């Protein structure tokens, strides 16, 4: 049988921990959000946002964004010659 002090300690230890729910953004969500911008995103920007290598970003664009998610993805060079990718909303 627990004493009053032991019960108070148990209750107090649980109530000392605040419950917080922090929404995390996945790497896929980060890429999709960058691609939906008006100017789109370059491979370099996408790699920096995720920490992936450029070849992994390109694989994600073709395999997941285009094939699995079915987004219309375009790529165009900008005025500096850097290729930018963008999702075109219907």
For the chain, what are the domain ranges?
Answer: 26-88
pLDDT at 2: 62
Q: Is 72's pLDDT higher than 80?
A: yes
Decide: 27 and 52 in contact? Cβ < 8 Å: yes
Decide: 87 and 72 in contact? Cβ < 8 Å: yes
pLDDT at 43: 97
Task: Tell me what the mean pLDDT of segment 78-88 comes to.
Answer: 93
Residue with tokens 């900008």: 78
**pTM attached to this predicted model:** 0.71
pLDDT digits (tens, 9 = 90+) for 20-41: 777 778 999 999 999 999 999 9
pLDDT digits (tens, 9 = 90+) for 2-17: 666 655 555 555 555 6
CATH number for region 26-88: 1.10.10.10
């Amino acid at each position: 049988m627990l004493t009053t002090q032991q019960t108070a300690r148990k209750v107090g230890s649980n109530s000392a921990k605040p419950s917080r729910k922090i929404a995390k953004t996945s790497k896929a969500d980060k890429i999709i959000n960058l691609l939906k911008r008006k100017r789109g995103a370059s491979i370099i920007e996408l790699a920096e946002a995720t920490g992936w290598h450029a070849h992994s970003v390109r694989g994600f664009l073709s395999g997941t964004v285009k094939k699995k998610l079915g987004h219309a993805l375009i790529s165009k060079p900008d005025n500096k010659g850097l290729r930018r990718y963008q999702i075109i909303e219907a």
